[in-house]
Amino acid sequence: MNIMSMTGFGRGEVTEGSRKVTVELKSVNHRYLDVSIKMPKKLNFFDATIRNLLKEYIQRGKVDIFITYEDNSENNVAVKYHPEVVKEYLQYLNSMSDEFGLDNDIRVSTIARFPEVFTLDDVEIDEEGIWKILEKAIREACEGFVSTRIREGENLRADLIGKLDSMLSVVDFISERSPAIIEEYKATLMGKIAELLGDSKVDENRIATEVTIFADKVCVDEEMVRLRSHIETMKTTLMEGGGIGRKLDFLAQEMNREANTILSKANDLEVSNKGIELKTEIEKIREQIQNIE
């Protein structure tokens, strides 16, 4: 199964008749799904529907969606003529002319300016027609968006597996080096005691006790087993794919904990250097994991 990066971009454009809708999507990493929609006010009543549609394609990430809508034939208002109002105006004007002996100079241009002769009424919005083209553009943008996320996700998977394999080689080195550290300590200890006692007999039991105490302090066998297990689990999880970001983040935290313990127990320069190398790789992995859905 694919894994997806939380960084992506998609664009959709649909034209039907005089209507044209353009949708652009872009996202960055985020713990949850956080959607910000910028669109014309007249489309605001589609807000909840758009958010539900996006959930079909996106689980996590900070997503910005930009929507533009054009309709060359569209008029937001319609002019309405009210002849009954004109009729009343004319009756009163004619009465005024007769009653006061005034010239009846009524013109169409004059009476057209009278209140309520013409009114502007809002045109009913074709919600179904607009949503049909809007949904098509959004899905087109989402499909391109998902494709870019999958492509970037596959790059992340390959890079992470390479880093994990590198970590396994470090674990192998530390595991092989650990027994030699004990033997070297024992040889150094016996050399110092022999130097101090000269020809006197060395107490083998005391030497064994000291070596055992030292071994307990520097032994990282359990940490190596757990660290190797976390690395293998992470590799398996990456190959399984899906929405694995949170699980990978947890595994990386556990790996870092084991690496810290290994470094704190290190009593050997080579092991210390390898412990630092482990922590460096784990930190790189943690940064990359933040961008996986």
What phi and psi values does residue 183 have, to the nearest 5 degrees?
-65, -40
- The pLDDT score that the predictor gives to residue 106 is 85
Based on the domain organization, do 110 and 162 belong to the same domain? no
- The pLDDT score that the predictor gives to residue 268 is 74
| In-domain check, residue 1 | no
Based on the domain organization, do 25 and 156 belong to the same domain? no
Q: What pTM, to 2 d.p., does this model score?
A: 0.64
Beta carbons of 272 and 266 less than 8 angstroms apart:
yes
Residue type, 173: F
Query: What tens-digit pLDDT sequence spans the chain (293 residues)?
Result: 888 899 999 999 999 988 899 999 999 988 889 999 999 988 998 999 999 999 999 988 999 999 999 887 655 656 788 899 999 989 988 898 888 888 888 888 888 889 998 886 655 667 888 999 999 999 999 999 999 999 999 999 999 999 999 999 998 888 777 766 666 655 665 666 656 655 556 566 666 666 566 555 656 777 888 999 999 999 999 999 888 988 999 999 999 999 988 877 777 778 788 889 999 999 999 999 988 98
Tally the C-alpha atoms within 13 A of residue 168's C-alpha that lie toward its C-beta: 14
Q: Which residues does 279 contact at the CB level (< 8 Å), separation at least 6?
A: 256, 259, 260, 263
**What are the start-end ranges of the H helices in 70-126?**
83-100, 108-111
Q: Are strands 61-71 and 33-38 parallel, antiparallel or unpaired?
A: parallel
* Closest to 161 measured CA to CA, from 28, 258, 292, 263: 292
* Closest to 63 measured CA to CA, from 7, 21, 23: 7
Structural domain count of the chain: 3
Q: Which residues does 87 contact at the CB level (< 8 Å), separation at least 6?
A: none
d(CA 54, CA 220): 48
Beta carbons of 4 and 238 less than 8 angstroms apart:
no
Based on the domain organization, do 105 and 227 belong to the same domain? no
* 113-151: burial string, b at 16+ Cβ within 10 Å, e else: eeeebeeeeeeeeeeeebbebbbbbbbbbbebbbebbbe
Based on the domain organization, do 160 and 245 belong to the same domain? yes
Q: Give how far Cα 75 sits from Cα of 46, 70, 78, 140, Å.
A: 20, 11, 7, 28
| In-domain check, residue 211 | yes
Domain that holds residue 66: 8-73+127-149
| In-domain check, residue 3 | no
What CATH number does the domain containing 56 carry? 3.30.230.10
- The pLDDT score that the predictor gives to residue 179 is 67
